[in-house]
Amino acid sequence: MTPFNPVEALTKLISIRSFSKEEEPARDFMESVLTEYEIDFTIDLNNIWAKNKHFDSSKYTILLNSHLDTVKPNKGYTKDPYYPQIEEGKLYGLGSNDAGGALVTLLGTFIHFYEEKGLPFNLVFAASAEEEISGKNGMEFLFP
């Protein structure tokens, strides 16, 4: 199994259109990554989440969450929003900062600790939907 590469993951994520209520392709990408690392996950609507392998309900849980959806690009873009480009060490593309960068970083952290025994806490990774519109089918759905 190859080590997780957040730059490669973010580059792929940027190239996927993932507007609010249309996150399924980005969710499917997250599913493919979790599957590659043999991580059990749950899909709820356009959300995907997973618990660390040795989850223990007697421990506190840390939620690693970011969102899959992006706003639609505006006319002010000077670069193709779906064509990831690295210039002078910066990765450009729609969702690279809000919130793809955070999403792949949290995913990488979760993958790193997924099989760790003896953690003093649990980890839950959630890639949630509809954050950009404060929709009811994202975090509000996952954690009513």
Domain ranges in the chain are: 1-57+80-119
φ, ψ (nearest 5 deg) of residue 76:
-80, -5
* pLDDT score for 36: 97
Q: Which of 74-78, 110-114, 140-144 has the highest mean pLDDT?
A: 110-114
* pLDDT score for 141: 95
Give the homologous superfamily in CATH for domain 1-57+80-119: Zn peptidases (3.40.630.10)
**Across 115-124, average pLDDT:** 97
* pLDDT score for 144: 83
* pLDDT score for 13: 97
Count other C-beta atoms under 10 Å from residue 74's C-beta.
8
Provide the annotated active-site residues.
69, 131
φ, ψ (nearest 5 deg) of residue 31:
-60, -45
* pLDDT score for 56: 98
* pLDDT score for 110: 99
At 65-97, the pLDDT tens digits run 999 999 999 888 889 999 999 999 999 999 999
Q: What is the pTM of this model?
A: 0.94
At 6-24, the pLDDT tens digits run 999 999 999 999 999 999 9
* pLDDT score for 132: 97
The amino acid sitting at 122 is: N
Taking 80 as the threshold, does the pLDDT of residue 1 lie above it? no
Degrees, nearest 5: CA angle 118-4-119: 10
